[in-house]
Amino acid sequence: MPRKKDPLAELKGFEAREAELKERKKALQDEAARYLGSLVMEAGLDSWTPEQLRAGLARLAEQGPDRSDAKAVPTRPASSPNGEVKEPTAAVIADAPAAGSAHG
């Protein structure tokens, strides 16, 4: 039974597609990072230190999306680039156990 496709050509095609997917993945990761960064800025969390932001995000992740708003409290109002104060849009976990604690 003769082969229908040349395995070397098929491998080259696969490698080309793999490179395209790798580039697309990187572009999507960059786009996602910009989007998430804009949410952080919009919520007024840009004034937090990186350590505070990591800790807050870790607590939110630990709680999960279904429970994270149960203990949420609004942060300071975010301001827009023109200086207008927006309604509070961010939330942080208040009195939630720290990530990795036994009280979860």
Token pair listed for 96: 């939630």
Tens-digit pLDDT profile for the chain (104 aa)? 566 889 999 999 999 999 999 999 999 999 999 999 999 999 999 999 999 999 999 999 999 888 756 555 555 555 555 556 555 444 444 443 344 444 43
Report the C-alpha gap between 39 and 12 in whole angstroms.
Answer: 41
